[in-house]
Chains A and B, each alone.
Chain A
């Protein structure tokens, strides 16, 4: 636990001054907060006016929602607003992926570049402790920022709804589960995959690019597939959480087993 916090504190101290990573930690939360807030603010405009009611796609969505008990219980406009708010949860999965992959890209190769990896490996730290510390350093700030942004968004949305004398929509069980379990689990999975790349790489920039070209699209696809289910199926969301957590455990074990001190020390110049 001590090593975990040690790496977390050190990496954060470094990240605060890293011009390539810090902007992500400033911009992403703004997007995460802004999107649901904008939807809440624009909710009145979403009330289907007579001319909008003619729009086939809106009619199709309203028709679909009318068959989902959770949304059918509300007037159509409010039901639609609540559904759209649920759909913005995808942003709380996408943004952490981008943040975690960028932070993790520097995790091992950054140490190689600064020549700090050998002095670290020369301490009594074990591979497991090192990787756990690095994982914490890559994922905890992202998770904290995501949860904080989620809380701010929830409060903001509720205030907007309350001022219109509507019952507050958030947090609901989907938001709670996504913010507290699914997004952190997905963040950890992305961080672990990117750390593996980072350990094999000799250039952080190459790792970022590989991550952007290979890892991000794969995870975006997962989120895209999860998205519709997240909006409507709570058991499905629970199952997704369990699956991603299991993937986390498997990836961490694989990273520990495949972490080769020798290879890293002797192939890096």
Chain B
């Protein structure tokens, strides 16, 4: 649904985005992560056809960016954009604001009325439909901006920092809405600083710092650089792990157990997720008292930090 190849954009000769290539299949959520000034918003603007690339190209919802005015119009009609700042006419009511933008999308009046009511009720703003947007909290404005990005039923949705500056409750509501959008089969690209948000929502992640440093599915990224799909398992024992030394020397029977290190009361192993119960059963069978079993994967935070620090 979104496919970029060598997407590059320079401003006054200084590259803001360089050689970015990724694919986002239909119905998936792609999180574009990166520090401030990494080029996330520039990338989204290029994908929306709002600014042109200096080199490379992209296809979004079947439309090639920069392929002329009419293709640009069709591309924008097929996409929804949540901008970094919500941007509404403060003196006008929520309903009037949405009607204005809905008409710019060319929605028929009846559809527009139905969509506005549907989304305002869904996001619990129906009771405030006649209130001036200037009286809204930041969270309410953000919800209203999400409605604006969605009410023309776009195939592709770009969300630039959807939860930035929201209180935890409002952020949770927005995240739940994004999750719901995913289940509706929309293709979503989210730019965010919020790693936790990306980890909860994304199918795939791209880490951008002018160039795309990392780009893969969350599953593969979590599996680690080797991509062997193994987890780190930490077993906290009731007695020093060294007491199991003899048993460990013979090695556990499971072929999944790659490495066992016994330090104090903690025993660390690497194995496939399906082999964790077998490992625990083997330890118990050797007389080990187990207080706690913890599985650890590569966290998005560690992946992100390694990438932006150039350790990847």
Closest B residue, CB atoms, query A112: B87
Query: Are B104's CB and A124's CB within 8 A?
Result: yes
Q: A13-B92, A114-B87, A115-B87 are in contact. Are A121 and B105 (CB under 8 A)?
A: no
* Residue pair A124, B73 in contact (C-beta under 8 Å): yes
Q: Is the CB of B77 within 8 A of A124?
A: yes
Instruction: Scan A107-141; emit 1 where CB is below 8 A from any B CB, else 0.
Output: 00000001111111111111000000000000000
Stretch touching chain B among A2-10, A79-87, A91-99: A2-10
- Bound Cα distance A262, B65 (Å): 14
The residue in B50, B52, B148 that gathers the most chain A C-beta atoms within 10 A of its C-beta is B50
Q: Cβ of A14: which chain B residues have Cβ within 8 Å of it?
A: 89, 91-92
Instruction: Determine the chain A residues whose CB is within 8 A of the CB of B173 once the complex forms.
Output: none
Number of residue pairs spanning A and B whose beta carbons lie under 8 angstroms apart: 72
A261 CB within 8 Å of chain B: yes
Report the contact-size class of chain B (Cβ under 8 Å from the partner): 20 to 34
Whether the pair A121, B50 counts as a contact (CB closer than 8 A) is yes
In the complex, identify which listed stretch (B30-38, B78-86, B300-308) lies at the interface while the others stay far away. B78-86
In chain A, what residue has the closest Cβ to B87? A115
Q: Is the CB of A10 within 8 A of B100?
A: yes
A103–chain B nearest beta-carbon distance, Å: 15
Query: Which residues of B line the A interface, CB within 8 A?
Result: 11, 45, 48, 50-52, 69, 73-74, 76-77, 79, 81, 83, 85-92, 96, 100-101, 103-106, 145, 148
Q: List 11 A-B contacts (CB under 8 A).
A: A6-B100, A13-B96, A18-B91, A114-B88, A114-B90, A115-B86, A116-B87, A119-B81, A122-B50, A122-B76, A125-B104
Interface residues, chain A, with chain B CB atoms under 8 Å away: 2-3, 6, 10, 13-14, 17-18, 114-126, 261-262, 265-266
Contacts A119-B148, A261-B50 aside, 14 further interface pairs with beta carbons under 8 A come to: A2-B103, A3-B104, A10-B100, A13-B92, A14-B92, A18-B91, A114-B89, A114-B90, A119-B83, A119-B145, A122-B76, A122-B81, A123-B104, A266-B11
